[in-house]
Amino acid sequence: MKTQSLNGRWQLRQAGATDSIPAIVPGDVHGALLKAKKIADPFYRDEELSTQWIGRTGWTYARTFTVSRSLLGRDRVLLRCEGLDSLATIRVNGRKVASTENMFRTWEFDVKKQLQVGKNEIEIDFAAPTAHVEKKMRKRRLPQWGGPMEQKGGNWLRKEPCNFGWDWGPNLVTCGIWRDISLIGFDVARLADVHILQRHAEKQVTLQISVAAERIDDVPLCATVTVSYKNKQVAAKTVSLSRNAAKVSLIIEDPQLWWPNGLGGQPLYDVCVELLNADSGQLDLQSRRIGLRTLRLDRHPDEWGESFQFAVNGVPFFAKGANWIPAEAILARLTAADYQRLVEDSAAANMNMLRVWGGGLYEDDAFYRACDENGICVWQDFIFSCATYPAFDDAFLANVRAEAEDNVRRLRHHPSIALWCGNNELEQGLVGDEWTERTMSWEDYGKL
């Protein structure tokens, strides 16, 4: 496995223009324009209003890069885009690779045929999001509530809802390469999925690890799974893959349990999975940092109707915390240190749970790592908020299904993840007469 980052300095130009400005990736258009002093600070007074044109025009990110003979000689070379916001068309050396329409998905495309040894060029065109949703709204109105969303129609596009404005934040409709982008080259096979389940018993925990591989060549594969605690190996096993998959059971004796803030410590174990072939050696390597714990939501009938109480390791606890909205409107300005500080502050305030609001985004890995380390449980909304959605559209449903699968796979190993919640306040529209059979049926809501 060989990886080449395409993060760093790109060039950004407005659609129809010839001049460009530097743009750092990961990033977005607003951040690049602000750094180049092309716009005023949108957080000062009402300067937000002077930036509304940005979401009404297209933008192109471009850069050159060098590809080595070693990378291009791999059996498969993929372009991996971990965040494209949102309506993107990708070209490599002038040849179209793909188009995307979801800010929250990770995309991978085979670009071996488009690349060449030496100098290469990549361009990513972003269509105007405001124009896109306005066109959709003219065809069929999908109501929103809980705003004011300054620009209507954002529910037609898989994009951070509050980017269109909310009652607490600015309307800064942007676009850009907002998460990492890279080239990945590999031979024979690579790891496609690692899924870790836990079974708890007296003084021991059994880890059940499912390993899946993406195979190019029909050769024998095996996987070695190692579990470590404080850099000391506590369990390991090697198994052969059958039909591109394997299951491994490992017993952890004297397990150190993970607890929410205020109930105990947050010991973390490292699970490392190596994909191996007798001829090629190590083909791929993935690791997960986990906490050993059980977590249950008790909803038994009681004298008031139904209980709603979390229990960790069999101990009920009172969930106390706050609603987490995006900590920045210009997302690339957030650093891992910012997430660490905000989560540590939450723990210092005696919180033990944060609810990631469905009008924002599936947060950066740094946020969930900080929650793991500080005992902050996470109530994670899927990103649907205060609106009806085009669940009558099969392509839309397929898009959000892939989005959900992407993010559940990315986050499910974190001990801090306590609950997945379907949305934020969609059913409120029934009460407010915003939601009618014409805009979204109850059957369509069930599909969503």
398's tokens: 């397929």
Other beta carbons less than 10 A from residue 217's beta carbon: 12
Question: Bridge partners of 423?
Answer: none
311's tokens: 């229990």
Detail the DSSP E strand segments found in 187-264. Answer: 189-201, 204-215, 222-229, 232-240, 245-253
| Beta-strand relationship, 176-177 and 76-81 | unpaired
Residue 31 carries which side chain, given as an amino acid letter?
G
HSE, side-chain direction, 13 A CA sphere, residue 222? 10
Task: Give the length of the chain.
Answer: 448
Give the residue among 391, 321, 397 at the shortest CA–CA distance from 356: 321
- Helical (H) or strand (E) element with 143: none
Asked if 202 is an active-site residue, the reply is no
Question: Bridge partners of 173?
Answer: none
| Ramachandran bin of 205, using left for φ above 0, alpha for ψ from -120 to 50, beta for the remaining angles | beta
Catalytic residue among 425, 427, 434, 443: 425
Look-up of token digits 């999001």: 129
CB 115 within 8 A of CB 68: no
Residues labelled catalytic: 425
